């Protein structure tokens, strides 16, 4: 059954109504109705992903919905917000298969359940072009406690969660591209990196600690260095980052051992969906201890300075890169 035979009503009933939370009114009204708890504010963000630009057209459909929701929930987590729900815009080529839709909805539903972020509404349209998804995610924070990008102060510790660069290394593997380093990896390492590219794990467990301790935060989507530069610029400060302090997976370490120039891809490639934050030095101990309790790795990678520049230090001195991040409207290969 191809979707040109399915009405929008059928699509919603078969695939999406099972994912809906109460705020979605059964997906049978024109709008969703969200109640914000007393003394809280609404945090909202939107990110779109396009086949061939942000994911590979032959990525497993179970991972595509997962990623589309994950990149948005990651923004909520970085702002210290708890997920409340999401709206889905799905622009589907007419030849999309029913099996694809079923798998897509399955992956999306599992991610939504995992992150307590139910579907509350959306729109489905015909796309005479590549499959395109846009998700608007909603979260709540106690009033006045949203963590901004602007807020880093000289002396703060710059830190990131998890490991950096895995997704950027996973992309060429997922695309089946030749690399000078993939021979250095085991099959399970390759699978790990590809999964990091396809299925971000937003750090929602860190939201409360960020509200309590962070002076600024954002998620790392476009590349660690470029995103750090954005946070610092809007805060009116600079920083020094120690490249050897950036936390890496074993797989990424094996890549760098085989091919040291891949450090640029690791530090600027993006799709990490880890959290970059600045923590005043006096709060670092409590923040790090809390992260351990939540089972989330956090690593200090540098210090905020008053200089207004971002300096990257390697073992032999300052490093420089052709560019700091993946940017839209330039070459798409990061």
Tell me 13's DSSP state: I
Tell me if 123 contacts a second copy by CB under 8 A.
yes
**Closer by beta carbon to a second copy, 28 or else 116:** 28
- The residue among 43 and 174 lying less far from a second copy, judged by its C-beta, is 43
How many residues form the binding site for a second copy (CB under 8 A)?
71
Integer Rg of the chain from CA = 20
> Least Å distance between CB 185 and a second copy?
30
Output 139 or 165, the one with its CB closest to a second copy. Answer: 139
Q: Report DSSP letters for 46-60, one per residue.
A: EEEEEBTTTB-TTS-
**Of positions 20, 49, 108, 252, contacts a second copy by CB under 8 A:** 49
User: Which window, 108-116, 123-131, 170-178, 301-309, contacts a second copy (CB under 8 A)?
Assistant: 123-131
Report the residue number, 191 or 234, with the smaller CB distance to a second copy.
234
Token duo for residue 120: 């509350």
Q: Are 198 and 66 in contact (CB under 8 A)?
A: yes
- Contact between 12 and a second copy per CB under 8 A: no
Closer by beta carbon to a second copy, 127 or else 258: 127
CB closer to a second copy, 11 vs 288: 11
Torsion of CA 249, 135, 331, 275, to 10 degrees: -30
**118 near a second copy, judged by CB under 8 A:** no
Which residues ranging from 141 to 170 are in contact with a second copy (CB under 8 A)?
A: 141, 143, 146, 148-150
Residues 6+ positions from 144 with CB-CB distance below 8 Å: 41
Among 30, 95, 176, 183, binds a second copy (CB under 8 A): 30
Distance CA 314, CA 296 (A): 26
Instruction: Please check whether residue 239 is in contact with residue 159, taking contact to mean a CB–CB distance below 8 angstroms.
Output: no
Name which position in 156, 189, 219, 271 contacts a second copy (CB under 8 A): 219
The interface with a second copy within residues 52-111 (CB under 8 A) comprises 52-54, 75-76, 78-79, 81, 87-89, 91, 94
Cα separation, 197 vs 167, whole angstroms: 4
Instruction: With H, G, I as helix, E, B as strand and everything else as coil, classify residue 38.
Output: coil
Handedness of CA 58, 61, 66, 68 (dihedral sign): positive
Which of 5, 95, 261, 316 touches a second copy by CB under 8 A? 5
Look up residue 248 and give its two tokens. Answer: 């890496």
Q: How far is the CB of 234 from a second copy (least distance, A)?
A: 5
DSSP code string of 251-319: HHHHHHHH-GGGHHHHHH-----EEEEEE-GGGHHHHHHHHHHTT--EEEEEEEESSS-EEEEETTEEE
> Least distance in Å: CB of 257 to a second copy?
34
- Interface map 249-288 toward a second copy (x if CB under 8 A): ----------------------------------------
x-or-dash string of contact with a second copy, 222-241, rule CB under 8 A: ------------x-------
């Amino acid at each position: 059954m191809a979707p040109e035979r399915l009405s929008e009503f059928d699509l919603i009933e078969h695939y999406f109504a099972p994912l809906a939370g109460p705020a979605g009114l059964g997906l049978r009204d024109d709008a969703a109705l969200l109640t914000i708890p007393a003394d809280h504010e609404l945090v909202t963000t939107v990110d779109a992903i396009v086949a061939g630009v942000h994911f590979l057209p032959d990525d497993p459909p179970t991972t595509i919905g997962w990623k589309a929701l994950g990149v948005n929930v990651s923004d909520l987590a970085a702002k210290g917000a708890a997920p409340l729900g999401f709206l889905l815009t799905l622009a589907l080529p007419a030849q999309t298969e029913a099996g694809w839709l079923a798998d897509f909805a399955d992956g999306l539903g599992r991610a939504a359940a995992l992150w307590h972020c139910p579907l509350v509404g959306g729109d489905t349209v015909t796309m005479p072009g590549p499959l395109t998804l846009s998700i608007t995610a909603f979260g709540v924070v106690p009033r006045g406690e949203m963590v901004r990008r602007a807020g880093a102060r000289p002396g703060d510790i710059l830190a990131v969660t998890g490991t950096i660069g895995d997704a950027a290394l996973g992309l060429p593997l997922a695309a089946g591209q030749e690399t000078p380093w993939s021979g250095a990896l085991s099959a399970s390492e390759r699978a790990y990196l590809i999964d990091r590219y396809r299925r971000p794990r937003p750090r929602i467990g860190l939201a409360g600690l960020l509200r309590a301790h962070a002076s600024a935060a954002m998620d790392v989507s476009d590349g660690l260095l470029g995103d750090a530069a954005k946070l610092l610029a809007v805060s009116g400060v600079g920083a020094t980052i120690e490249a050897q302090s950036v936390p890496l997976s074993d797989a990424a370490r094996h890549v760098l051992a085989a091919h040291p120039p891949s450090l640029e891809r690791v530090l600027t490639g993006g799709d990490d969906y880890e959290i970059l934050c600045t923590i005043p030095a006096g709060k670092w101990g409590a923040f790090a201890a809390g992260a351990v309790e939540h089972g989330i790795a956090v690593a200090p990678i540098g210090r905020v300075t008053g200089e207004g520049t971002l300096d990257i230090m390697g073992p032999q001195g300052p490093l420089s890169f052709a560019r700091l991040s993946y940017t839209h409207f330039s070459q798409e290969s990061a």
